[in-house]
Amino acid sequence: MYKLLMKIFFLLLYISIAYGQHDPSGYSGEENREIKSLSNEEIQGYLAGHGMGFAKAAELNHYPGPMHVLELKAKLNLSKAQIDQTENIYNEMHKKTVRLGKLLVEKEKFLDDLFLNKSIAASELQASISEISKVRGEIRLAHLTAHLKMKELLKPEQINHYDKLRGYTAGSQKHDD
C-alpha cells in the first residue's frame, strides 16, 4: 500500500510540475529577426524573385514554369524559338518579381518598424496591410502569368513529358537536375 501511495504521490508531483512549466511560443527565437514576419530564407527568396510556391496552382495543373522548362530544355526537345521565347518569359517574370520582392520586403520592414516603435495606428495598419497584400498579389500574378504563357508555348506532348520529369504523374520519377 505504501508503494502505491508513493507512486501516486510522484505521479501527481510530476503532473503538477509538467503543467506548471510554461511552454515557449512557436515563435520563440523569431523575435531576433530583422523583419519579424519574414525568415531570412523568405527575404532572400523575395529579393531573388524565386517562386516560393506562388505558382503551385499552375505548376501542379499542367502549366509548366519557365525556369524549370529551361532546366529541362534538352529533355523536352525544345526548338530554338521555344528556348528564346522561354528565356524572354522567364526574364520578364524574373525582373518583375525581383522588383516587387524588394518592394514587399521594404513594406514588411516598414510595418515591423511601426510595431517596434509602438507608433502604429489602426488606419496606418489598414493601409500597410493593403499595400503588402497588393504587392504579394502582384508577385503571384507575375509567376502565374509566366506559367500561363508557357502552357501556350509548349506542345501538349512536351507538357506531358515535363510533368513526368517533374514527378507529377503516377509512376514518374522526379527529375533531380
Over residues 63-71, mean pLDDT: 98
Q: What's the pLDDT at 139?
A: 98
- CA dist list (Å): 94 to 17, 164, 166: 54, 25, 21
What's this model's pTM, rounded to 2 decimal places? Answer: 0.81
Q: What's the pLDDT at 26?
A: 76
pLDDT band with cut points at 50, 70 and 90 for residue 16 = low
Q: Which domains occur in the chain, in start order?
A: 36-166 (1.20.120)
pLDDT band with cut points at 50, 70 and 90 for residue 170 = confident
Over residues 63-84, mean pLDDT: 98
Can you read off the three cell numbers belonging to residue 38? 519574414
pLDDT band with cut points at 50, 70 and 90 for residue 176 = very low
Task: Work out the mean pLDDT of the chain and round it to a whole number.
Answer: 88
Interval 118-131: pLDDT, tens:
988 999 999 999 99
**164 CB-near residues (< 8 Å, 6+ apart):** 172, 173
Interval 110-161: pLDDT, tens:
999 999 999 889 999 999 999 999 999 999 999 999 999 999 999 999 999 9
